[in-house]
Amino acid sequence: MFHQLMKNAFFLFVFVSLALVGCNRGPTDAKVVGTVTFDGEPLYGAVVRFTPESGGRQSEGFTDRTGRYELRFSAQTKGVVSGKHKVSIRTTPEEYGVEEVKEVEKLPAKYNTDSQLIMEVKRGAQQIDFDLTSK
């Protein structure tokens, strides 16, 4: 009987430990807000997308008239998973293909289709601003 009780306690401990570890990588372990400017002016209507380098679901936000964005994991959930992210910022809809984006996108490709922007997102709240230039 004691052996069975210890066995059950062990499995309960493992289950709870794994559940807690999984919770720490949830979409709300980091909150990111910021502003995007282009040649010194607020960038309105842009999509700011953070894609985890380790894989997993991306978060994105849309800039308002002041260039401010807030990342969302889904329509209902604000936040982003902590870690390194590749960042892309674009002003054209996702439905466009790469060649179409290059024709109508007002931002240089180095910020979207050929983005080299890498940001480290830490747990908790933080502000990450982007000062983009046309050069």
Q: How is the chain split into domains, by residue range? A: 26-132
pLDDT of residue 18: 40
pLDDT higher than 70, residue 101: no
Which of 66, 32, 35, 61 has the alpha carbon at shortest distance from 130?
Answer: 35
pLDDT of residue 113: 87
- CB neighbour list of residue 60: distance below 8 Å, 6 or more residues apart: 47, 48, 49, 50, 71, 72
Assign 56 a pLDDT band (cuts: 50, 70, 90): confident
pLDDT higher than 80, residue 40: yes
pTM to 2 decimals? Answer: 0.74
Assign 21 a pLDDT band (cuts: 50, 70, 90): very low
Topology classification of domain 26-132: Immunoglobulin-like (2.60.40)
**Collapsing DSSP states into helix, strand and coil, what is residue 55?**
coil
Mean pLDDT of 87-110: 74
